[in-house]
Chains A and B, each alone.
Chain A
Amino acid sequence: MSDNISSSRLTDIDGWGRSESLRSIARRSFQFFYDNYFRVEWEGLEKIPDDGGALLVSNHAGAIPMDAPIIMHGVEQHLGRPVYGLADHFFRQIPVVGTMWSRLGGVPAHPDNAYRLLRDEHQLALVFPEGTKGTSKVFTQRYRLRRFGRGGFVEIAMKAGVPVIPIAVVGSEETMPILFKINSLAKATGLPYFPITANWLMFGPILGTAISLPAKFKLRVLDPVHFNVPPDQDRYSKSRIMDESESIRLTIQENLYDMLAHRGNPWLG
């Protein structure tokens, strides 16, 4: 028996719980749907840097939103670098789902986690500042952006000294449109919202949860926003944060309207 300790890992699970091998299996199986079902088209992917930290910020929609896996898939395939998806800690608390989510690059959206990813590890992180306010909108409200939280994403980017790269996504709203919500059931089940979706009416509750409608996805990467403030300050001016946050929100909103104006049929693009 050898005397020294090998210090070799048995798995490739990183400090965030992400496994590149599981992620690549997931990418391989998702590729077909990405190409043929959602027929994803990107504009401006070259604006996302090959190295260094950056915070990707996008609009968020669909009862079970497909925008997250599509952005992560697209950027990872194009740049060959991991994207960590920041999401509500709610996922982390669900057995099996939480573990799979973290193996595939999910990270609880805590400011400390985001800072460490961006500042110390120079990674790409994806965040949806609307949170569940975006995904829980009913279909009549589609493509109208919700409040961008309290601008926390701007503050983290300032602190970490990285740019925010806004992404406008068209298609997600149509994949699982919410017709109405039942608040009492949301309370009873502990879910953030309890939607009745078009998918449910078409396919029933089980298949309707699993099947997203084949909306065509178009994504536009917008110009990176640099804040030109020194990193690692204890706090930044709240009014500056809210201004930047609101201006990023408006830029995404305007681009969405522009993309929608040029879109013909939501299913054919």
Chain B
Amino acid sequence: MGRRVLLTGLGTFWGGKVAQSLEKHPDVDVIVGMDVTEPIVELERTEYVRADETYSILSRIVDATQVDTIVHTFLVVDSTQMKTKRLHEINVIGTMNLLAAAGCAGTPVRRVVVKSSGMVYGCTGRDPLWFLEETPRTDPPETTIEDSLVSAEGYLRDFAQDNPHVSVTLLRFSNVLGNDISTPFTETLSRGIAPSIFGFDPQLQFIDEDDVVSAIEFATSANVPGIYNVAGDGLIPWSEVAKICGASNLPLPPFGTEAAASILRKMGLVKFPPEILQLLRFGRGIDNSRFKDLGFSYKYSSLGAVERFAKTKRLSKAIGIPRSPYTYDKDVESFFHHSPSVVRSTQSDSTSDTF
């Protein structure tokens, strides 16, 4: 019998991308994607369920669909996307409810994969240059986003302890770059601005968006319980990142940085939230060797991710590649998924790249 996968955050960039990649797996029978918003990518056989962000109906879905795997991509790691209250609801309450549903008596769930962030390590001057998976934070979290991720990971740790029969994989990603994804880094660099803190040139680490999707896919297909850092090889100074992307340096004062940044944020010049400003002071490296030892290979190093990003940005500026014209239409999707008049490819054909 094939795998049955439940995916959170189908309407987000990551959820959609991961669903697309899972659709190509012949051994995945069922993909059910949950979100409050409709998918933004074209999907072939993924079923979309509208659910509220805190998954109050989740246990019914798990029960009805008998999923054996939950892929939790819907942890928000970009605090510029929403208000802190909603962020807390999604990351903390959402994860708590999700795990409660996955761990109820007689649950069919045997594997849980969660996409978290290297932000859980924090960023202070007293940190080591590289974090291993077990390196503790130096200071308690100060921002809502870090606090919520730490709490969510805490629930996951409890869940893994309480449910030894479930294989729990926690992936912590470094800063993502890519042409399709929007993060504070991509937004700011695309505008040709590289805010920095005067007198500091931190070592930063990046991962390409394609590597993020393959890493989640890898963790979903292989049975690899544990915590893993997922990031491109190597560190690059921020000034060099700016140079590669052709972005001009916008120095912020080293003292009163947050005050200066909040003015620039209001002017719309800087999109960097406090947790990323802190990175511009001390940087952060997360050691990716444990995930590599499992057999996962990265397509891009940190430098490769930056270069690829810079290149696609230059290209899209030159020829103006439009965004994907796809929009979700419930009736059309329902027709394609369920109508008997649609000729569906067989399982073995679905491995071909039909995107």
Contacts known (A15-B129, A112-B135); A95 close to B254, Cβ less than 8 A: yes
Contacts known (A5-B307, A113-B128, A116-B130); A13 close to B254, Cβ less than 8 A: no
Interface string of B267-283 (1 = CB under 8 A from A): 00000000000000010
Q: Please measure, in the bound complex, the distance between the C-alpha atom of A11 and the C-alpha atom of B130, giving whole angstroms.
A: 21
Q: Please measure, in the bound complex, the distance between the C-alpha atom of A107 and the C-alpha atom of B128, giving whole angstroms.
A: 10
From B127, B129, B197, B199, contact of A107 by CB (8 A): B129
Contacts known (A5-B304, A98-B200, A112-B135); A10 close to B240, Cβ less than 8 A: yes
B307 touches A6 (CB 8 A): yes
What total of chain A residues lie within 8 Å of the partner, measured CB to CB?
27
From A7, A93, A94, A107, contact of B301 by CB (8 A): A7
A17 at the interface (CB under 8 A from B): yes
Q: A-contacting residues of B (Cβ < 8 Å)?
A: 125-130, 132, 135, 197-201, 203, 234-237, 240, 243-244, 254, 282, 285, 301, 303-304, 307-308, 311, 315
Q: How far is the CB of A105 from chain B (nearest CB, A)?
A: 14
A5 touches B234 (CB 8 A): no
- B308 contacts which chain A residues (CB < 8 A)? 5
B198 touches A95 (CB 8 A): yes
B199 touches A110 (CB 8 A): no
- B307 contacts which chain A residues (CB < 8 A)? 5-7
Instruction: List A residues 71-106 near B (Cβ within 8 Å).
Output: 89, 92-99
From B125, B130, B201, B240, contact of A89 by CB (8 A): B125
4 nearest interchain CB pairs? Answer: A95-B199, A112-B128, A96-B199, A95-B254
From A5, A6, A10, A17, contact of B243 by CB (8 A): A10
B234 touches A110 (CB 8 A): no
Instruction: List A residues 1-31 near B (Cβ within 8 Å).
Output: 1, 5-7, 9-11, 13, 15-17
Name 15 extra pairs, CB < 8 A, besides A89-B126, A93-B125, A112-B130.
A5-B304, A7-B303, A9-B236, A9-B303, A10-B244, A15-B285, A95-B200, A97-B199, A98-B200, A99-B201, A110-B126, A110-B127, A112-B129, A113-B128, A113-B129
From B129, B135, B237, B254, contact of A11 by CB (8 A): B237
- B282 contacts which chain A residues (CB < 8 A)? 92
Q: Please measure, in the bound complex, the distance between the C-alpha atom of A98 and the C-alpha atom of B243, giving whole angstroms.
A: 21
Q: Please measure, in the bound complex, the distance between the C-alpha atom of A228 and the C-alpha atom of B198, giving whole angstroms.
A: 46
Chain A binding surface SS class: loop
Q: How far is the CB of B289 from chain A (nearest CB, A)?
A: 9
Q: Please measure, in the bound complex, the distance between the C-alpha atom of A11 and the C-alpha atom of B132, giving whole angstroms.
A: 27
From A11, A96, A97, A98, contact of B240 by CB (8 A): A11
Nearest-neighbor residue (CB-CB) of A11 within chain B: B240
- B303 contacts which chain A residues (CB < 8 A)? 7, 9
B125 touches A95 (CB 8 A): no
Nearest-neighbor residue (CB-CB) of A15 within chain B: B235
- B130 contacts which chain A residues (CB < 8 A)? 112-113, 116
A108 at the interface (CB under 8 A from B): yes
Q: What are 30 A-B interface contacts by the 8 Å CB criterion? A: A5-B308, A7-B303, A7-B304, A9-B236, A9-B303, A10-B243, A13-B240, A15-B129, A15-B203, A15-B235, A17-B201, A89-B125, A89-B126, A92-B125, A92-B282, A94-B199, A95-B254, A96-B199, A98-B199, A98-B200, A99-B201, A108-B125, A108-B128, A108-B129, A110-B126, A110-B129, A112-B129, A112-B132, A113-B128, A116-B129
Q: Please measure, in the bound complex, the distance between the C-alpha atom of A6 and the C-alpha atom of B308, giving whole angstroms.
A: 10
B240 touches A9 (CB 8 A): yes
